Amino acid sequence: MQTEQASSPTPSSSRPKSSKRIKFWLATRLGWLVLIALGKLTRIQFGGREHFERLRRDKQPFIYCVWHGKILIPIFLHRYEGICGMVSEHSDGEMIAQTLQRLGYSTVRGSSTRGGKRAMLGMIRTLRNGGVGAIMPDGPRGPRHEFKAGMIAIAQKSQAAILPFTFASSRVWRLKSWDRFTIPKPFSKTLALYGEPIFIPAEIDDAEFEATRQSVEQRMLELEAEAEAFFPKMDEPQPQNVL
């Protein structure tokens, strides 16, 4: 009588993990170069840059506030300036962290879902020491354009200004991700738009805190709409959804 031999794992069973490792390696080794190439191939003009310049001139600690889906151009423009970015501890956060570090940023790791308290303390310490931070207030998993309360708390405790920042381009790719991640196409026109700095009072009660959060969220949405309205849609191809 013949006995059945246990079937050995097929080589294909390890392919998903191998594929994930390859993508991670490519993203962390080459992603920063692709980002720089896209930035250099984009014709960038500025709006509201005087707000950024005034904060720098006055040596006022501040936090770049950028929606998760609009981080590409801000990262490109302010590379090698010693900015500290808050990045999640998820796997995609690790890719972002390594990319940022190759572009001259430092990072604190944590988010509203994991390691948040440690990251908040690290960011507050950086800002109190005169540093500049960068936070994506709707990260790491959304919902898109929902302003998390943690950023208000960091600005309040550090007394750093919030500097809203976004961009829009004449021709883009938008990923089918929760944040609708936006990538300018080569040789497109781009507007990098800074909003007016926002200062959070050191002492506010719970109701004022929530009202402030909603107000800052609204100002971020208005800045986004202003940037997107800069390019006439009737004369330009519509954004293409990819992936």
Residue located via tokens 């250099």:
40
* Average pLDDT value for residue range 43-51: 97
Domain boundaries, the chain: 20-242
The pLDDT of residue 15 is: 58
Q: Measure the CA angle with vertex 113, ends 116 and 33; round to 5°.
A: 80
The pLDDT of residue 148 is: 94
CA distance 71 to 233: 22
* Average pLDDT value for residue range 203-222: 97
DSSP letter, residue 106: E
Model confidence at 168, pLDDT cuts 50, 70, 90, reads very high
- Better-predicted residue by pLDDT, 19 or 175: 175
Model confidence at 234, pLDDT cuts 50, 70, 90, reads very low
CA distance 147 to 220: 9
Looking only at the bridges linking them, the beta strands covering 182-184 and 172-175 are antiparallel
What rounded mean pLDDT belongs to the chain? Answer: 88
CA distance 149 to 18: 38
pTM metric for this prediction: 0.85
Q: What percentage of the chain carries pLDDT values higher than 70?
A: 85
The pLDDT of residue 147 is: 97
* Cα–Cα distance list, 189 to 44, 77, 156, 232 (Å): 6, 15, 36, 12
Model confidence at 100, pLDDT cuts 50, 70, 90, reads very high
The pLDDT of residue 237 is: 46
The predicted-structure confidence for 81-90, as pLDDT tens digits, reads as follows 999 999 888 7
